[in-house]
Chain A
Amino acid sequence: MVGTKIVGIAALLIILAGCGGTAGTAVGDGPGAAPGVAGGASASGLDDGGFAAGGAFEEDYGQTAGGAALDNRVIYFGYDDADVDAASLEMLEAHGAYLAENVGTAVRLEGHADERGSREYNIGLGERRVQAVRQILLLQGVTGTQISSVSYGEERPAVLGSDEEAWSLNRRVELIYAD
C-alpha cells in the first residue's frame, strides 16, 4: 500500500520533470541544481522564467498528495472483522472529500473475505466491510446514490494462496470508480 503510494508520487515527479527540465531542478536537491556543473546550461535557462514554473509545481505537488490517496483504492481488514484502521480511514476521507465535491461521480464498493470458513458467512463478512467503508464515505458528505456495492465473499480473491499473507491481502474492500 505504502509502496504504491511512493510509486505514485515518484511517477508524478517523473511526469512533471518531463514537462520541463526546469521544474525538476527547481526542487533544488538534484545534481542539476549545483552551479557550475556542465549540465547547468539548462539550469541557467531555469533562472529566467523558470520561477513561475516552479510555483506551478508546488501547487501540483499539493494535488498530487491527494491524488496519491485517491490512487489507493483498497482497504484491508483483520481476520473476521470490519474495523477500518487509521491509515485506511485517512485514505477513505480523501475519497469521501473527492466524492462529496464531485456529486456526479459514482463509486462501487466490492467487499471480500479470505478463503477460510464457510462461503455464505464470508459473503456476510464482505458485506459488513462494505458497510463500514460506506458509512465513512457518507460521513464525508457523499450521497448514498453515489455508492453502489456488492459482497463477493471469498469468491474473488486478489491473491491466490493459503497463507497469512494471501489471506491478509484478500480481506479487503475495493473502491471502483465508474469510468
Chain B
Amino acid sequence: MLTVKTGKLKMTGAKAWSRALWLCILAAPIAVAELRIEISQGIDQAVPIAVVPFAWEGSGAAPFDVAGLVSSDLARSGRFRPLAPESMLAQPTRGRDVDFGDWRIMGVEVVIVGRLIATAPDSYTIQFQVFDVFRGEQLLGYRQPATRAQLRGASHLVADMIYQELTGVPGIFSTRIAYITVNGQPPRQTNRLVVADADGANARTLVESDEPLMSPAWSPDGRKIAYVSFEHKHASIYVQTLRSGTRQRVSSRPGVNGAPAWSPDGRFLALTLSKADGNLDIYTLNLSNQVLKRLTEGASIDTEPDWSNDGKHIYFTSDRAGRPQVYRLPATGGRAERVSFEGPYNARPRISPDGEAIAVVHNDRGNYRIAVVDPEHGYTQVLTEGALDESPSFAPNGETLIYATRHGERGVLATVTTDGRIHQRISSVDGDVREPAWSPYRRH
C-alpha cells in the first residue's frame, strides 16, 4: 500500500562529462525543508465538525496522532471547521459512547471517533466511525490496517474516506506534489526536484543540480516523473522512477527538449522539440520503442502539450495566430483547432480530470493569472489575483488547482478551488518554489 522510504542515502554523482557541474540523483531521497500550508481565504459555510482524539490500545505512548492529522487535513480543505479538543464536552472513542445532545449544543454537525489498535508487532488498525449529529446516525465505519511506517499515510487515507463521505468528492490528502525549488544565484545555485505529501510533509529531493530543472510531470500510475534538466548545459528530458531513483534520458536532441506530458495509458510522452531548425513543435515519443512522431509544423512556437483524458487529443500552446493561445489536435496528428479566445495570452493548458475545464496562464489586463477555460465554448473564468501566476496543475479530484505565484520577491505555491472560493498559501522556509505538479491518486 503506502511506502515510506527509509533506505540509506545513495548518490549517483555527476560523471566525467560535467566537471564544472554537479548533479545528484537521489535513490533514497533526502529530506528537505517542508512547506507549510494555510488557508488564506475560506468559505463562510465551513461545516463545524469534531474529530475526537482517538483511543490508543497498545503499550507505551501512542505511535501516531491519527485524529490530529485527520482534523488538520479536513481543516486545510477549507470546507470543514474542526472543534478544538479542549472545547469538547466529552471525548468518546466508540460510537456507542457518543451523546448526540452534547454535540448539538456545541453546534457540531459531524462527529468522528475512533481507536488506534496495536494488533501485532509493527501492525496496527485504525478503526473509526463518522456520525451525523442531527440525524443521530452513523455515516461511515471502517477499519484501516497499517504498519508503523504507514500510519501517517493511512491517516491521510482515513481523511480521504471521510471527505468523500461528507462531500461526495474523493479526498486528496494522500496524494503528493512535485515541485522545483531554487536557492541562490548562478553559478552557485541549487535547483531541486522535490516530492512532498499534499500537506507539505515528507518533502524529499529527487534530483539536485546547479543548472535549471523544469516541467515535472507525473506518470499516470504515479510511479515516475518526467522532467527537463539542463545539467549538460543543454535541455534533456529524463524519466525517473520514484522508488528506485533510477532514471533514463529519453530525449536529448539538438535544441529544445521540453514540456513532457504523459499519455493517459503511460505509453507515450508528448514533448516539445526544436531540433536543428530551432522551430518548436509538438511530438509524441513512444517510450517502448523510441519512435518519434511529429504533430505540428511551421514557424510558430508550439509547446506545452497536455493529453485529453481519453488520450485522443493533445491540447497545446501556439502563437500561430500571433499571440499564444490554446489549440487542440488529434493525438495521431491532423488539423489543429483553436480552443481559447478571450484575452491576448492563454498558455500552458492543463485538462481537468472530468475534461470539462482547461486551466491556463491567462493575461488579465497585464497580469498573468490562472484561469479556467470551457473547452466547448471558450468561456474564461479568472481564479487568481496575482501578477505573475503560472504553472497550474489540477488535483486528481478536480476540485483544486495548485499553481506558482509570488509573495514579495519570492516564488511560492498556492492553491485555489476551481470555483474560486477557497485559497491556500503555501509557505516555504527559503528560496523560490515553483512548477508544482499534483500527483494522480495513489494506487493501493
Contact = CB atoms under 8 A, between A and B. Distances in A.
Answer yes or no: are A and B bound together in one complex. Answer: yes
Contacts of B324: 117-118, 121
Given A117-B324, A119-B391, A127-B256, A150 B235 contact: yes
13 contacts: A117-B324, A118-B324, A119-B214, A119-B435, A120-B214, A120-B259, A120-B304, A120-B348, A123-B258, A123-B280, A128-B301, A150-B235, A162-B387
Interface stretch (A16-24, A30-38, A97-105, A152-160): A152-160
Interface string A84-119: 000000000000000000000000000000011111
Given A155-B212, A156-B186, A156-B212, A121 B256 contact: no
A104 to B, nearest CB: 21
B368 interface: yes
Interface residues of A, number: 25
A118 B391 contact: yes
Considering the complex of A and B, which 7 residue pairs feature the smallest CB-CB distances, nearest first? A124-B301, A131-B278, A118-B348, A155-B212, A118-B347, A120-B259, A118-B361
A124 B212 contact: no
B344 to A, nearest CB: 9
Contacts of B279: 131
B212 A152 contact: yes
Interface residues of B, number: 39
B343 to A, nearest CB: 12
B278 A155 contact: no
Interface in B250-268: 255-256, 258-259
Contacts of A152: 212, 230
A116 B278 CA distance: 22
Contacts of B434: 119
Contact of A121 (B347, B387, B388): B347
A149 B387 contact: no
A116 B369 CA distance: 10
A127 to B, nearest CB: 5
Contacts of A172: none
Of the listed residues A119, A128, A149, A153, the one surrounded by the most CB atoms of chain B closer than 10 A to its CB is: A119
Contacts of A130: 278
B205 interface: no
